[in-house]
Amino acid sequence: MDRFSEQAATWDEEPGHAERARTVADAIRGAVPLRADMHVLEIGGGTGLLARALADDVGTVVVTDVAPGMVDVAAARLEDPRYDGWSARQYDIEHDPLPEERFDLVMGLLTLHHMGDVASVVRRCGELLRPGGYAAFVDLDHDREGAFHAHVHDFDGHHGFTRESVTHWMDAAGFTDVALSTAGTVVKGEPGHEQEFPMFLAVGRID
């Protein structure tokens, strides 16, 4: 994930990134009963934009990412006293051993499509939840033409997902009350040639 480490220093200032995180935070607020004592894990969290957008709604967050450059920037952002008790860690949600720690909410924004075995990652996220805990995954709806990543020459992830696939993976992982909704769109492209890519929000609970 060198590409993401290289982009980390300017990630928050890239057009649309911060606004996207705020829009997705609103969608999560509407779909998950958030509480001020929640202990949260963000997977593929990059600089922690989404977590920081939810700072007034949850307790503590562990922002994780596989790219060390992203983790460094996240750690620097979390030095602000408003993120007291939060941390940033390098963690590969697909391949690293599961930690002992358990969470009330596991969330990820535009990160599942970079995983190889998505069903396994969804299952691992479920295992990281305390009983009654929620997962909230936001990612691209299926992008049939692969237009979203057309400019990334070495892209080896998924061109988004059908909502049926995500529902199936969450059901198979033991989530209940699985619900998918629309979390907004990502706008990409040169001025005058922008394209909009819809994103789903998938929420489920482990009882």
Give the interface with ligand SAM as residue ranges (CB under 6 A).
1, 4, 17, 43-46, 49-50, 65-67, 70, 92-94, 109-111, 114-115
Nearer residue to ligand SAM within complex by CB, 127 or 131: 127
- How near is the Cβ of 169 to ligand SAM at its closest, in Å? 16
The residue (of 59 and 157) whose beta carbon lies closer to ligand SAM is 157
Distance from C-alpha of 170 to C-alpha of 180, rounded to nearest angstrom = 11
How far is residue 129's CA from residue 87's CA, in Å, rounded to a whole number? 18
Of 93 and 105, CB closest to ligand SAM: 93
Smallest distance from ligand SAM to CB 187, Å: 14
Rounded CA separation 186/177 (Å): 26
Q: Could you tell me how far CA 53 lies from the centroid of its own chain?
A: 13
State the DSSP code for 202.
E
Q: How far is the CB of 70 from ligand SAM (least distance, A)?
A: 5
- Do 44 and 109 form a contact (C-beta atoms < 8 A)? yes
Report, in Å, the least distance between residue 85 CB and ligand SAM.
Answer: 21
- Closest CB to ligand SAM among residues 80, 177: 80
DSSP string, 119-160: HHHHHHHHHTEEEEEEEEEEEEBP-TT--TTTT-TT--S-S-
Give the nearest distance from C-beta 207 to ligand SAM in angstroms: 26
Residue closer to ligand SAM (CB basis): 25 or 34: 25
Q: What tokens were used for 183? A: 């979390």
